[in-house]
Structure 1
């Protein structure tokens, strides 16, 4: 969907309630996307069937338009007309499939007031970083001289390496002050960070905190019932096509893969996992996803041994009790090639307790945990060579995926699922499906 038709779903306060920040003059969705010249279904099919990865995009876009830095796209540039002296609420959404993005507007500053639909302590910044699947609300004051100003988005990769996610192009839009000059040639261009500017990214993410004065602020749940240490990254697996992977960069019967705790996730093909859980159907998944990786090693070391690359395909889930508190250390690895991973959890918001670089060390890094005002998210960008610690309360019944939001990584197997058991009361038990639910 994100490669074809998409749009913004905006949640506003109920009638009679206000935002916990000054009322904006106007709200404007800003959606960062990707564009392929080829049919996107063919791109994915060919990439997966040959044992490699799909071709990357041909261009990025802002609100569906490519901007005037690509060939033949000058007439396809998004223009935001603003009234001087006002405050605008920009609802920024990264609908791109495979890249985090820096986003900036020349000569303007933002005040971040919400991320992933959770209010934040106002954070003043001239640039934001947003990963695929993330959303962000920022205030922008139109208090600059009457002119045109470029808005621009550039991809971010933690390391500048050759590979499927290393392309570096910029998509643009125009902020036009009503009453100012109209020629785009006079527009001022923002200075964007380098593709691999991890310092800027880390500073931005770690300066975000939750708004404790909001009626919706949820304190950090204490005393976790479940503690998990999950490593993830790229790898290889036995090719699933009968004739092998003819264009595989590895041996003919070996294909690209991705895994969590060395298990490369396979979606079931006959029965949905939620249906299997509700009806007690056996053989659809197993409840033995491990709490720790099978082997300890120097996770972030460059040029790791190829003996660590092979993954095991499975449909394993982690079963947790209703209302239990789950803490997860998300440890990125340098297996096969280093890459950042935006990890998305369905069904829940989680608190981000801490994040950092290197191999997670519980004795040292637990001292960094923020229990006072951590921000809540549903997608956390874990950088190359780094880790993040999240915590959530499992109070939503059913089967919930956790996966990398880089679209190419999901079919490669960088995913797992949680099964939240029924609770003790009727209201905390999974209801039956509606009578008219279509069968798969």
Structure 2
């Protein structure tokens, strides 16, 4: 989905004067004509069946945001450490515009995103289920009391470290040697009202199960894509994924835990049973909830069931083209005594002073193994990739610049006997490669660039 009216600018501290996260031309967060609590499927002259790959509204609005990134002391769970704040906050301010879905912004230099340079983007538009109010983003983040840079050497020599905590919308508590520090994020609802929550997993190494005790979640979107609504007690959400859900305040008035439960099947967290926020029916209440989590869960790092992820706008990949790089085995290895992930027996070594896009612009064609470039020379065709691993560890992966279609996913070794789903398969930009398994994706080569 393209949003030509959204222009996000990010400056390092000292390069931009301190300003609020306001725009020079504000985007309206109010609903477009026809979009009401009783019918969220329309948006002015557009609706959920509009093919946003070929047609987008021309609003004539440019939204320009100015950010100041500062190196400062932060304590989102009451334990102080050095971090990077955007306009003084972690997560950073919400960017809002109109038409579309929910994504996030973050720094792409080194590990700055997990020092604090990240935040939500909300682009208002049609939805596949009705709701009364938009509660906004719910950001799920893991957190260490050391900086991400400080953990980098450990991760390369010992493997993924145990993280200290996790945050919901930038807050949580922590048991510091018997002293409880920090505070929890809270939100208040009105009985009988339905709310849209925009879940974003911004973690560096944590797969969450998200739930609100005693409440049913109706899932209406994944990543960029509105889907046919389905109900669930909890949502599996991997790093980088986004799900929009609707929840109705239909329980007895009281206080309820909101939970983001780290899945220890694929990561470690010191506060695993206490990543919580609070949903209150009475804003004057200060009591801790006494509710319990749903119990029919398996500790695992998987995507939501693909059979449930049905895009409203049907798109069928056709005439799939096999490339020299269609098979992409994922392995783990050691290079110069450092732990590395490999794709097709290569591990990328980024040259910060020589960006790939600049090299393409300069006409470079002699790519090395360190560059790890997959060239797709033909525009406007469907290509597919089989990504598989023998490692007993799941791993998320993301494609920039495109949605991809998930044609198959499973455990074991991929073979030609696997049936590919080409009839409106799930469409997204982040998927989980199963442990000792495979995933097959396809996408259309209509967005040239270095991705």
Query: TM-score normalized by structure 2?
Result: 0.69
Q: 143, 167, 174: which is aligned to 1:35?
A: 143
Structure 2 counterpart SS, 1:47: helix
Is it true that 1:127 corresponds to 2:234 in the alignment? yes
Q: 413, 434, 443: which is aligned to 1:359?
A: 413
Measure, in 2, the Cα distance between the counterparts of 1:38 and 1:166. Answer: 14
Measure, in 2, the Cα distance between the counterparts of 1:178 and 1:192. Answer: 26
CA deviations 1:29-77 (Å, max 9, x no partner) are: 1111122212322222x336x7344633211111111247776446511
Measure, in 2, the Cα distance between the counterparts of 1:148 and 1:234. Answer: 45
348-357 or 261-270, larger mean C-alpha shift: 261-270
1:5-404 equivalences in 2 (<5 Å): 5-13=117-125, 18-44=126-152, 46-47=153-154, 51-53=157-159, 55-67=161-173, 72-73=179-180, 75-158=182-265, 165=268, 169-170=272-273, 171-178=275-282, 182-184=286-288, 186-191=289-294, 196-197=299-300, 201=302, 204-212=304-312, 217=313, 219-227=315-323, 228-237=326-335, 239=336, 254-281=337-364, 285-286=367-368, 314-320=370-376, 321-334=378-391, 338-363=392-417, 365-366=418-419, 369-400=420-451
- Higher relative CO (Cα under 8 Å, sequence separation at least 6) belongs to 1
1:383 shift after superposition: 1.7
Measure, in 2, the Cα distance between the counterparts of 1:139 and 1:69. Answer: 32
Go from structure 1 to structure 2 and tell me whether the alpha carbon gap of 1:25 and 1:189 turns closer, same or farther (over 3 Å shift).
same
1:326 shift after superposition: 1.1
Partner of 1:420: none
CA deviations 1:119-141 (Å, max 9, x no partner) are: 11111100100001111100001
Go from structure 1 to structure 2 and tell me whether the alpha carbon gap of 1:316 and 1:82 turns closer, same or farther (over 3 Å shift).
same
Measure, in 2, the Cα distance between the counterparts of 1:375 and 1:37. Answer: 37
Partner of 1:430: none
Judge conservation of contact 1:3–1:97 (CA < 8 Å) in 2: no
Go from structure 1 to structure 2 and tell me whether the alpha carbon gap of 1:121 and 1:21 turns closer, same or farther (over 3 Å shift).
same
Judge conservation of contact 2:190–2:281 (CA < 8 Å) in 1: yes
CA deviations 1:140-192 (Å, max 9, x no partner) are: 01100001110111122556xxxx647671301111112785411x4312135
RMSD: 2.4
1:27 shift after superposition: 2.5
Measure, in 2, the Cα distance between the counterparts of 1:29 and 1:155. Answer: 19
Measure, in 1, the Cα distance between the counterparts of 2:250 and 2:130. Answer: 16
Go from structure 1 to structure 2 and tell me whether the alpha carbon gap of 1:182 and 1:52 turns closer, same or farther (over 3 Å shift).
closer
Measure, in 2, the Cα distance between the counterparts of 1:326 and 1:180. Answer: 56
- Structure 2 gaps of 5+ residues are 1-112
1:207 shift after superposition: 3.1
Go from structure 1 to structure 2 and tell me whether the alpha carbon gap of 1:173 and 1:69 turns closer, same or farther (over 3 Å shift).
farther
Measure, in 2, the Cα distance between the counterparts of 1:178 and 1:188. Answer: 16
Measure, in 1, the Cα distance between the counterparts of 2:157 and 2:174. Answer: 35
1:315 shift after superposition: 1.8
Go from structure 1 to structure 2 and tell me whether the alpha carbon gap of 1:166 and 1:31 turns closer, same or farther (over 3 Å shift).
closer
Judge conservation of contact 1:3–1:35 (CA < 8 Å) in 2: no
Go from structure 1 to structure 2 and tell me whether the alpha carbon gap of 1:223 and 1:72 turns closer, same or farther (over 3 Å shift).
farther
Measure, in 2, the Cα distance between the counterparts of 1:67 and 1:120. Answer: 34
Structure 1 counterpart SS, 2:305: helix
Partner of 1:289: none
Measure, in 2, the Cα distance between the counterparts of 1:399 and 1:261. Answer: 19
Judge conservation of contact 1:146–1:180 (CA < 8 Å) in 2: no
How many pairs were matched up?
Answer: 334
Partner of 1:300: none
Bigger proportion of residues as helix = 1
1:211 shift after superposition: 3.0
Go from structure 1 to structure 2 and tell me whether the alpha carbon gap of 1:166 and 1:80 turns closer, same or farther (over 3 Å shift).
closer
Measure, in 1, the Cα distance between the counterparts of 2:318 and 2:235. Answer: 31
